Structure 1
Amino acid sequence: MRKILIVGAGQSGLQLALGLQGHGYEVTLISNRTPEEIRGGRVMSTQCMFRTALRHERELGLNFWEDRAPRIEELGLSVAGPEVPGAGRERAVDWTARLDGHAQSVDQRLKMAGWLETFEERGGRLVIHGATLSDLDYFARHYDLVLVAAGKGELVSMFARDAARSAHTAPQRALAVAYTHGVEPRTGHPGVEAVSCTLVPGVGELFVTPALTVSGRADILFWEGVPGGPLDVFEDIKDPAEHLAATLDLMRRYVPWEYERAAKSELTDAGGTLAGRYTPTVRKPVGRLPGGGLVLGVADVVVANDPLTGQGANAAARCAAGYLESIVAHGDRPFDAAWMQATFDRYWESARHSTRWTNAMLAPPPHVLDLLGAAGRLPAVAHRIAAGFDDPADFADFFYEPEQAAAYLASVAGPAGVPAGGPAA
């Protein structure tokens, strides 16, 4: 039986560990926290899993919360217009599109704690320890393969930045999250759950996502602010109540239609807020330990995008699924550097689309804003953009170049500018 060590108990590390267990591998998992500490700690993310990622979990029998989490059937996108003195702001663009398959968001405190317990129940070895380079140097001699799925801390330093694939050298957004109860349903969409995204040009973005958290159904309020701009105020706020107050005050100022829904909301719990920032980076996938051993980076250790397009947890699920397939197919052969590089290269074939799309949306050129606006008039365009959250590869065919976008809009609108049809919201 081949022995595999995974460092990191997030979406990718746990999904991969549980998948390998199902194929008979002897798996050791290193986590820096116990399930109890995770469940009772601070929120970790704003995950929204779309159809493909949910399918990967379902195939492994890990969809424990699927019957309890809100079924997100639609995606809504708005662009805030300029502020009008005495009248505030209104939406310059506003549309909603059906998703091809439902999405869901489960608080990672629930998911990771539950998956860790399942890993142990199925016979996995769980080590609670903050792993260091010297630890891995020792462990690498005792395992057939070591994978690093912990995207922060000194372990990431083993993986060199890939300058050719990394567009940024500094954080592109200041991030602020609040998990809340009491957000009212969207007007005009009774009984249909949706992710709502509002772009405020030059300022940042707001996402409102229905979710399941430790205390039941919730809505995640997530601000992404341009660094140094009016939304970049959360890093020094330590009190959760003050964090929520700042979130709502900014909503009242920049997205009053969303503020109306959330004005009476309350935090789900004392750990329901999070703030921070990081630099989107692509790294080389093979790390070399001081003693010469090799380790393979997983998910956001090697491809870390800004969460603007909601790709983080989805990319992690795709990465874990691809790595699992590659490990099982490799049989008893050595997990050498060539195999590690090839395994990552197969993942990059999908991850590169998420990276390109996210970078485009961080500073959308005029033709992209035109596409978003046209989606309000052309249901087929809205549907295609919404579907791209699950399959970003499709954007390569119509999204990035002005000529492509114009040709696509003309084909949808028809020669007389009349919509040629498509899935309606």
Structure 2
Amino acid sequence: MPQRKCIVGYFKGIKPNPPLGVCVTILPEAGEMFEIPAFTEHVPVNILFIMATQNRELDVFKTVKNKGSFTQKMIDTIKQYFPDIYNRMEEQNFLICDDKGFLQKAITPVIRKPYIVIKGKLIVGCGDSVFLNDPITGQGCNLASYCAEQLYETLIQYKDANWNPIGIEQSSM
């Protein structure tokens, strides 16, 4: 079962928050709002990224299916829960940067087998490909980086050892 709902939109019509950078607002037990300044192909935008705890106050985008209703729901949510952002919003100019500038996704944590042998070659997975977790702090990226570093160190340390993949299933992919 998903633990979080990821709700993200690329919006125009929010004045920058000096100093320019990523801002995070945490609502305990309800979720978080990440405000991320960015540039699209055509205009600068603010990425508004809500990580809503399922079935809590911020989990209000369930019925939203188009950019108009997504934009209105974001305005209502920001007005109610994120007054600092709302105070910088130019509501008449607040809109999604393009038709595909929004997304909703539920994250279900999962742990997968970390390796496979394909045509005699061992393939090792890292990060979210193996351990998909709540994405609140970018654990997938952090975990993949750490895993790659540890794998490198292990391979260097045992570079002259014989590898014996007993028990590793073979795949004909």
SS at match of 1:257: helix
- 1:230-245 to structure 2, matched below 5 A, reads 230-245=57-72
- Give the aligned partner of residue 389 of structure 1: none
Matched, 1:206 2:33: yes
Unaligned runs of 5+ in 1: 1-169, 341-425
- Match of 2:25, as an amino acid? T
Aligned letter for 2:49? Answer: F
Match for residue 361 of structure 1?
A: none
- CA deviation profile, 1:45-95 (whole Å, cap 9, x unmatched): xxxxxxxxxxxxxxxxxxxxxxxxxxxxxxxxxxxxxxxxxxxxxxxxxxx
TM-score normalised according to structure 1 size: 0.33
What letter corresponds to residue 280 of structure 1 in structure 2?
A: P
Compared CA separation, residues 314 and 269, structure 1 to 2 (3 A): farther
1:256-405 → structure 2 map (5 Å cutoff): 256-264=83-91, 265-287=94-116, 294-316=122-144, 318=145, 322=149, 325=152, 329=156, 337=165
Give the alignment partner of residue 229 of structure 1, picking from 42, 56, 59.
56
The structure where helix makes up a greater share of residues is 1
Write the distance in 2 (CA, Å) between the matches of 1:312 and 1:213: 24
Structure 1 residues 174, 194: closer, same or farther in 2, change over 3 A? same
Q: CA deviation at 1:292?
A: 8.3
Aligned mates of 2:34, 2:134 — CA distance in 1: 14
- The 3 A distance-change label for structure 1 pair 327 and 274 is farther
The Cα offsets for residues 313-342 of structure 1, whole Å up to 9 and x where unpaired, read as: 4444x258538846984879887648x9xx
- Higher RCO by CA contacts (8 Å cutoff, separation 6 or greater): 2
3-state SS of paired residue (2:50): strand
Q: Is the 8 A contact 1:225 1:231 kept in 2?
A: yes
Counting matched residue pairs gives 164
Report the AA paired with residue 86 of structure 2.
Answer: Y
Question: Cα 1:319–1:240, aligned 2, differ >3 Å: closer, same or farther?
Answer: farther
CA displacement at 1:258 relative to structure 2: 1.5
* 3-state SS of 1:193 partner: coil
Quick check: 2:24–2:35 contact (8 Å CA) kept in 1? Answer: yes
What CA distance in whole angstroms lies between the structure 1 residues aligned with 2:101 and 2:67? 7
Letter in 2 for 1:204: G
Q: TM-score, normalised by structure 2?
A: 0.74
Any stretches of 5+ residues in structure 2 without a counterpart? Answer: 169-173
Checking the alignment, whether the CA contact within 8 Å between 1:235 and 1:276 is kept in structure 2 is: no
- In the TM superposition, what is the alpha-carbon distance from 1:234 to its structure 2 partner? 2.5
Identity of aligned residues (%): 33
Within 5 Å, give how 1:78-157 maps onto structure 2: none
- CA 184–335 in structure 1, closer or farther in 2 if over 3 Å, else same: farther
Counterpart selection for 2:73 from 214, 238, 246 = 246
Cα offsets for 1:341-377 (capped at 9, x unmatched)? xxxxxxxxxxxxxxxxxxxxxxxxxxxxxxxxxxxxx
Paired residue secondary structure (2:39): strand
Task: Report if the CA contact (8 A) 1:173-1:226 is conserved.
Answer: yes
Q: 1: distance between equivalents of 2:138 and 2:36?
A: 11
Higher strand share: 2
Distance 1:297 1:322 in 2: 13
In the TM superposition, residue 208 of structure 1 has moved relative to its aligned partner by 0.5
Residue 14 of structure 2: SS of its match in structure 1? coil
Once residues 224 and 319 of structure 1 are traced to their aligned partners in structure 2, the CA distance between those partners, rounded to angstroms, is 24
Q: Which residue of 1 aligns with 2:171?
A: none
Judge conservation of contact 1:183–1:263 (CA < 8 Å) in 2.
yes
- Please tell me whether the aligned partners of residues 286 and 337 of structure 1 are also in contact (alpha carbons under 8 angstroms): no
What is the one-letter code of the residue matched to 1:296?
A: V
SS of the residue corresponding to residue 308 of structure 1 reads: helix
What does the per-residue CA deviation read over 1:381-407, in whole Å, with 9 as the maximum and x for residues that have no partner? xxxxxxxxxxxxxxxxxxxxxxxxxxx
Aligned to 1:99: none
